[in-house]
C-alpha cells in the first residue's frame, strides 16, 4: 500500500484492534477508536487500563485496522508506543466526533471523564496492508 492509499485508509473512521503484551506473555487485543496525525496513531484509554499498563511496561503495540466489508482490506501498524498522561476535553470530543458525529459526541464528552484518561501514541516502525 503506497503512502496516499495508506493516508486515505487511515482517514476512515474504522474501529481498530490494539494489541499489547501482558506481563505473562499473552496478548491483550481490544477494539479502539483512533486518529492519525503527523505520522503517529493516537488512542485514548482509561488511566490504569490494561492497555495503559502494558504500554508503559513494554513500550510496544500493534494496531490493526480492517474494513469489514467482506473483502480483505486492512492496515497494520507495528511500533513503539508512548503514554501522554493528559487528555483534553477537546481531544476526546474530536475523537468521538470522528466516529459518532458532533451531536452525539458532545453528549458523550460533556463530563470530566477525560481527566481520568491517557493518550497512547503509537509511532509506526512497520506497516503492513492490503487495499
* 119-100-51 Cα angle (round to 5): 25
Q: Which residues contact 61 (CB under 8 A, 6 or more apart)?
A: 18, 19, 20, 54, 55, 78, 79, 81, 120, 122
* Tens digit of each residue's pLDDT, the chain (131 residues): 888 989 999 999 999 999 999 999 999 999 999 999 999 999 999 999 999 999 999 999 999 999 877 778 899 999 999 999 989 999 999 999 999 999 999 999 998 889 999 999 999 999 998 86
Q: How many domains would you assign to the chain?
A: 1
Range of the domain at 63: 3-130
Domain CATH for 34: 2.30.110.10
Amino acid at each position: 500500500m503506497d503512502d496516499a492509499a495508506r493516508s486515505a485508509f487511515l482517514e476512515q473512521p474504522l474501529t481498530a484492534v490494539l494489541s499489547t503484551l501482558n506481563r505473562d506473555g499473552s496478548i491483550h487485543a481490544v477494539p479502539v477508536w483512533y486518529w492519525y496525525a503527523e505520522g503517529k496513531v493516537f488512542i485514548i484509554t482509561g488511566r490504569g487500563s490494561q492497555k495503559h499498563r502494558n504500554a508503559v511496561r513494554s513500550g510496544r503495540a500493534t494496531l490493526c485496522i480492517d474494513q469489514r466489508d467482506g473483502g480483505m482490506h486492512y492496515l497494520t501498524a507495528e511500533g513503539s508506543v508512548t503514554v501522554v498522561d493528559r487528555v483534553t476535553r477537546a481531544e476526546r470530543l474530536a475523537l468521538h466526533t470522528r466516529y459518532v458525529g458532533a451531536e452525539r459526541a458532545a453528549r458523550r464528552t460533556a463530563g470530566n471523564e477525560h481527566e481520568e484518561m491517557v493518550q497512547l501514541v503509537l509511532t509506526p516502525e512497520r506497516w503492513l496492508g492490503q487495499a
